[in-house]
Structure 1
Amino acid sequence: MMSYMVSVETAKNILEANLIDGKITLCPLLESLGFVLSEDIFSPIDIPSFDNSAMDGYAIRWEQGNGSRKLQTQSMMRAGETNHTTIQTGEAIRIFTGAPTPTGADTIIPQEYVTVQNGSIHFDWERFEKGANFRKIGAQNRQGDLIAEKGTVVSPGMVGLLASVGISEVPVYAAPKVGLLLTGDELVEVGQPLSFGKIYNANGPILNTYFRDLGISNISIYKAVDEPERLQIILHELLEEVDVLVISGGISVGDYDFVKKGLENEGVEELFYKVSQKPGKPLWVGRTETQWVFALPGNPASTLTCFNQYVKPCLEAWMGKKNTFQPMGTFPLQTDFSKKGALTFFLKAKLENGSIKVLPGQESFNLIAYGNANGIAEIPKDLDFLPKGTMVRFYSW
């Protein structure tokens, strides 16, 4: 347990050393987008599974043709054809893209190069060679070939590939079941009247949206008043049912901040408490043998920063992704930047035209900049002044 404030680097090293592997599940192919394959996938069939035409045109047997021979055309092969056809001597068969090629045929002449006269086809033989536009069985892959590697994120293209070989379910790292606990007597839900002394609940929608953007939909949302006994009951219930518990607020040192003690009572091991950063210093992270617990400071900008920097990478690692703590990249600042204090600053920023624009409104309560920001810029703790053009890390949402 860390009993003192840690640096950003130390906090991330601790988390990387404690990453939890998520469960593996079979996911319906159409629901697998964005998930990570937990196994190598091998093709159950040859693709193509039969010789077929790559063009609309005419199937021929190359050896029987030359510049003067006429090929008669009477038959036709459509895509989806199930009858087996054998090409006859002196015959050309009208064929369409994807249709099975006749037995004995080995070349497809595209229709735009063919003239048909009195039932015979004519074309310039010099333009083509044997095998043109002819897709052979297994040209893409053979049965048993590795077609998707473990650790690959399922993309729309991957879905298409797996569908093409007949795979309807894929083994992936499952999304965790998440509990979201919102603390604070001052919170009022959006859509309700706002009385004096109350504030709208912004962190709930922020975190709920972030979870869903990561592909996590199994979310239990609880609210807790600032009363330790009731909070303890809710913590116990949540830790009985979820894989990851994220708490908003109640983790500082105020008279009504009861979260830290409640988690200790539930036997959650503290990994660290407080990070030398701005915003989001009062961050608490712990774990059980199989669960993550993140207690985030209540100010919205602090919540967003801590989620982006610490919670999101752990959730992505749970779901099988690699190198999740790495930034999107390093980019130059558009303007000079100066700061006071030996803290790492995480700034609301916009990456545009290959450079970072630091947005106004950096206070921890202020969400205005987040309407335009597309990520967070990291300013190292040991630098007080960064001239325009200084390369800094940028983390996208």
Structure 2
Amino acid sequence: MDRRGFLIGTAMAAAWAGSGPVRAVAASRPGWAPYADTFAMDACGGLGREGRKPDSPYTDLELGDLRDSGLSALQLTVAPVGRYANALEDTVEYISRWNEEVARRPEYLLLARNGADFDRAQRERKTALVYGFQDTTPIGEDPDRIATFHRLGVRSVQLTYNLRNLVGDGCLEPADAGLSRYGRKIIEALNEQRIAVDLSHSGRRTALDAFAASKSPALVSHSGCAALAALPRNKTDEELRAMAQRGGVVGIYLMPFLRVKGQPMAADLIAHLEHAVNVCGEDHVGIGSDGTVSAVQLTAEYKREHRKVIAERRALGISAPGEADDVYLILPDLNHPRRLETLAGLLSARGHSDARIAKLLGGNFKRALTEIWG
């Protein structure tokens, strides 16, 4: 089962000083010479080409896309989101399937359990997989499960999805009631187990409460900047500053929410990255695509499935403003596996230093997660 399968099952499942206006990307893909030796990480992504059969082993083509991407690390979602009857059982099954995949293809993959595994992946030209949740649904009412999930390899837990759960309010809850007492217990348990606390999809008060409550840096693996697109999935400058002050990192996604309306492009991603750098500082910004490594083929079948997903998410009440039938979950001019290298070339052309680009492409997440995990 891939991340889209879980979504289907549960929902359905200042600009940098002196750099000038962001322009559309040319048809050619600009490169960036240091990329081959750079630690690159997607803090929220997945594998697989469109049309793959759920639960089937990944093909040489799909893993070839991963190798071609140059990613040293990729965070996967290994749990369902929302109100889900068999969350615990299905999460354990999903983790088991990924463990089998890692064991089957050791020339491509390894499991990240500590910071040293990041170094090993980069050295061996493999991709370290980070197991993460996008909801606390599998934990339910039993914080003791957190220790079990840590033993199973889970290293990041997002507190809420779009709606309210036992931990706190998601970004679509109008009351914005913040973190619950139980939520504070969950954060304590995650800190004790050295699992990263993730505030993507959270309500604003939930995020601010959690940033203050967590004893280790809390992250936002995939989001955007509300100052540029005032949509619930995006973080306000207040949230971004609170996160950065505690050592966290925000991953900017390649999603429709980079714009209030219409199909976003690489220029929109760059605008959000540069705004986040201005607000947080260059040590607290990264990439969390919320998409697949492989390119998306905009076939008629894909478009039909996309419309079905959006309709079912709306029916379940978890569709966020900004989701639309005709706005796809890609940036068309970065729709290829090597997108981070292309992004790096665009940032370099705008005057960003190689050191800053390396931080944005993965260095910042590597630093924060190594601090959290040890």
Give the alignment's TM-score, normalised by structure 2: 0.27
> Highest relative contact order (Cα 8 Å, sep 6+), 1 or 2?
2
Please identify which structure carries the higher helix content. Answer: 2
Please identify which structure carries the higher strand content. Answer: 1
